[in-house]
Structure 1
Amino acid sequence: MTYQRPAYEQVTIAHGRNTVTLRPTLRAAATLEARHGFPALFRALDDFNLSIISEIILATCSRREDAAAFLSRVEGRPLFPFFIPVRQPLAALVSMLTPAPDPNAKPSTGNPITWADVYAALYDRATGWLGWTPETAWNATPTEIDRAYAAHYEKLKAIHGSGEADKPAYDPREEVTEEQARSGIAQLKLNAKRGKR
């Protein structure tokens, strides 16, 4: 079964009657990936690593004090009943720390880049191209920035053209020999193609 991301990326985890809502912001993504890397984050969920799971919760909760209060209710109690209900939502959350894949994207043939470079590029797009404040950029998710940038790019193409439609269908230089260019025949050919007399 394929995991379908929600339109608004966030998860809510619960332990007993206590709940906390978490968002995979660019700030959280950059912080957690730099500190642990994605393999270690997913492994922490499989291994029930309370230390890293606590970091995930603290980094993705908009109010750190809410996350701290939630985690304080876990201390000194059996951990297995806590891990079972939060593991799946946290796995979904960790996957949301990367931009949602574009089903129409062509496979990349370029060199691989680091996640730090991806997050820096997303920040640059949010603040540079989209004009968002740094705070807005850091609090948006990677997918939100990616989709907003793609929509902005499409808007610019619609307003100004894509550039490819502006290129001539032919290059007159390819059809003219050097001798014809010297004799002025090239200009006659070019005028004929443009419909001039």
Structure 2
Amino acid sequence: MTLQSAYDEITLALGAHPVRLRPSLRTASQFVREEGFTDLPRRIADFHLGTIRDLISVAATDRQEASAFLDQIDATPLKIVADAVTAPMLALVAGFVPASDKEDTKPAKTGNSMPWPAVYKELYRKATGWLGWTPEQAWNATPTEINEAFAGHIEQLKAIHGSSDDNQPKHDPRQEVSPGEVKAGLAQLRRHTQKAAS
């Protein structure tokens, strides 16, 4: 068993038949649409064999590898299969969730949460609309890859065109003047205006 980053390909090995799995946008959206996401980690941890088999079928980068691996599952004691695939499958499912920018210190926005199909639809729109990727490139990228590419694109646009944050003063000049100073200034302005009028 080889376990890589949750946002890369993951290789499952069982006997002589490894299979490479990828948490692509296509895999995430198809599996979540068909199986749901809420109970998915629990079903994997509980070694729900139907869920495991479906996920391998959907996430495999090579259908022949997937078929050979699934045949190997049928010929192997389930305890051995569970020990070999549970942790990597949980890592694969973690890849369905776009990773947040670790350097982002802004507080999370509050409000209504989006259902997972809507999240994936939005990622697809960003990839094809904003980034100009082909549909195939968008479907094959992971949710984190799309998020990171989009964040990079926004940074590039800000660097080229500036941002509204750049135009804001670092402090509010109104905070430097006390109400008494404002009254005194207005009184002086009235006196000046009255002298000019007479």
TM-score by length of 2: 0.78
2:142 match: 141
Q: 1:43 and 1:7, CA in 2 relative to 1: closer, same or farther beyond 3 A?
A: closer
Question: How do residues 1-197 of structure 1 correspond to structure 2 at under 5 angstroms?
Answer: 6=5, 9-103=8-102, 104=104, 105-166=106-167
**Cα distance in 2, alignment partners of residues 7 and 66 from structure 1:** 20
1:18-64 CA distance string (max 9 Å, x none):
21111100000011112222232212212211111011111111122
Asked whether the equivalents of residues 97 and 143 of structure 2 are also in contact (C-alpha less than 8 Å), the reply is: yes
Q: Where in structure 2 are there 5+ consecutive unaligned residues?
A: 174-181, 183-192, 194-198
1:189 match: none
1:83-108 CA distance string (max 9 Å, x none):
11111011111111110123324222
1:127-157 CA distance string (max 9 Å, x none):
0000000000000000000000000000000
CA-CA distance at 1:8 after TM superposition: 5.5
**Cα distance in 1, alignment partners of residues 67 and 6 from structure 2:** 27
Give % identity.
44
Q: 1:51 and 1:8, CA in 2 relative to 1: closer, same or farther beyond 3 A?
A: closer
Question: One-letter code of the match for 2:32?
Answer: E
Q: 1:161 and 1:76, CA in 2 relative to 1: closer, same or farther beyond 3 A?
A: same
TM-score by length of 1: 0.78
CA-CA distance at 1:109 after TM superposition: 1.2
**Cα distance in 1, alignment partners of residues 96 and 126 from structure 2:** 17
CA-CA distance at 1:6 after TM superposition: 2.8
1:188 match: none
**Cα distance in 2, alignment partners of residues 165 and 88 from structure 1:** 45
Moved more, 62-71 or 131-140: 62-71
Moved more, 160-169 or 116-125: 160-169
CA-CA distance at 1:164 after TM superposition: 2.6
Aligned length, in residue pairs: 170
Secondary structure in structure 2 of the residue aligned to 1:12: strand
Q: 1:39 and 1:7, CA in 2 relative to 1: closer, same or farther beyond 3 A?
A: closer
**Cα distance in 2, alignment partners of residues 128 and 151 from structure 1:** 15
Greater C-alpha radius of gyration:
2
1:178 match: none
**Cα distance in 1, alignment partners of residues 14 and 76 from structure 2:** 11
CA-CA distance at 1:167 after TM superposition: 5.1
**Cα distance in 1, alignment partners of residues 57 and 123 from structure 2:** 22
